[in-house]
Amino acid sequence: MLTYPFNIIPITKARGELGNLAEKVSKGNYIILTKDGSPKVALVDISYLINLENQVKKTYQKTFIDPKLLKYTRKFTEEEVKEWEKEDIL
Amino acid sequence: MKTVFVDSSVLFSAVNSPIGGSSKIFTLKNVKLVTSRVVLIETERNVRNKLRDYHLERFFMLVEKLEVLKQLPNSQLIKKAKKVIVGKDSVILAESYKSKADFLVTLDLKHFLTGSVARFLRPQKALTPKMLIEMVEKK
């Protein structure tokens, strides 16, 4: 039985309860293990981790950038971005 | 239905802020938003360099609401555009002209909302997102 509040547990206390804690994580539920009061690692469901990694990959692999057309584009300056922000206010 | 060519200043600003006019035009009904591959590349390049990771996801989400025209930059047209606008904006101006959209929506008032650009684009008209919203909401 878990005796610590919420899903934050010191690593030292988690050692003896690892099996029990592993049962508690599922889908998006996770447990944060702390060391000296600071978050150190998280216990997550493996399917949740794989799904998360796939989502990140998907976002980063997706691109419209075509090296052949890159020469027609330019870098925006900070000044013009600020100017656009002002003009964009409704 | 009127077509509106979205330039990179507007697409970038829509990615950057969900509460400005640029974002609002993505919710307008009765207008078709179009853009070109060059605009997408320019915007993505700047989103990756200047904004945060979650903005990139928003960029892809907004692009899904646009029709991406299958057009490539035309050197002759860019050359002509350079006669009426500063070099840095000539590609986008040429792209908008080539799209044959009814309107060009931009946040760069200084360079795009001028008499010479208006003559170049005719019959297409350059507007800001705010002007476009007011026009659509009046109807």
**DSSP 3-state assignment of B136?**
helix
| pLDDT of amino acid A54 | 85
A8-60 residue pLDDT tens? 999 999 999 999 999 889 877 889 999 999 999 999 999 989 988 888 777 77
| pLDDT of amino acid A53 | 85
Taking the C-alpha atoms of residue B81 and residue A56, their distance in angstroms, rounded to an integer, is: 40
**For range A85-90, the mean pLDDT:** 95
**DSSP 3-state assignment of A11?**
helix
| pLDDT of amino acid A2 | 46
| pLDDT of amino acid A41 | 93
Phi-psi region at A36: left, alpha or beta (left = phi > 0; alpha = psi -120 to 50): left
**For range A79-85, the mean pLDDT:** 97
Tokens read off for B86: 């500063």
Of A63, A73, A90, which has the smallest distance from its Cβ to B38's Cβ?
A73
Cβ contact B125:B97 at 8 Å: no
| pLDDT of amino acid B6 | 98
Q: Give the closest residue to B95 by CA, choosing from B109, B111, B115, B75.
A: B75
Who wins on pLDDT, A3 or A55? A55
| pLDDT of amino acid A6 | 65
What residue ranges of chain B have pLDDT lower than 70? none
Cβ contact B84:B107 at 8 Å: no
Q: Give the closest residue to B103 by CA, choosing from B60, B65, B134.
A: B134
Taking the C-alpha atoms of residue B53 and residue B91, their distance in angstroms, rounded to an integer, is: 27
Of B57, B63, B130, which has the smallest distance from its Cβ to A90's Cβ?
B130
Residue with tokens 């005796």: A3
Residue with tokens 């000296």: A36
Tokens read off for A57: 């990959």
Q: Give the closest residue to B54 by CA, choosing from A49, A56, A28, A30.
A: A56
Q: Is A71 on the interface with B (CB under 8 A)?
A: no
Question: Contacts of residue A79 in chain B, CB cutoff 8 Å?
Answer: none
Q: A–B: how many Cβ contacts below 8 A?
A: 80
Cβ contact B21:A89 at 8 Å: yes
Taking the C-alpha atoms of residue B104 and residue B39, their distance in angstroms, rounded to an integer, is: 12
**Measured in Å, how far apart are chain A's first and last C-alpha atoms?**
55
Best of B24, B40, B72 to disrupt the A interface (most A CBs within 10 Å) is B40
| pLDDT of amino acid A29 | 85
| pLDDT of amino acid A3 | 45
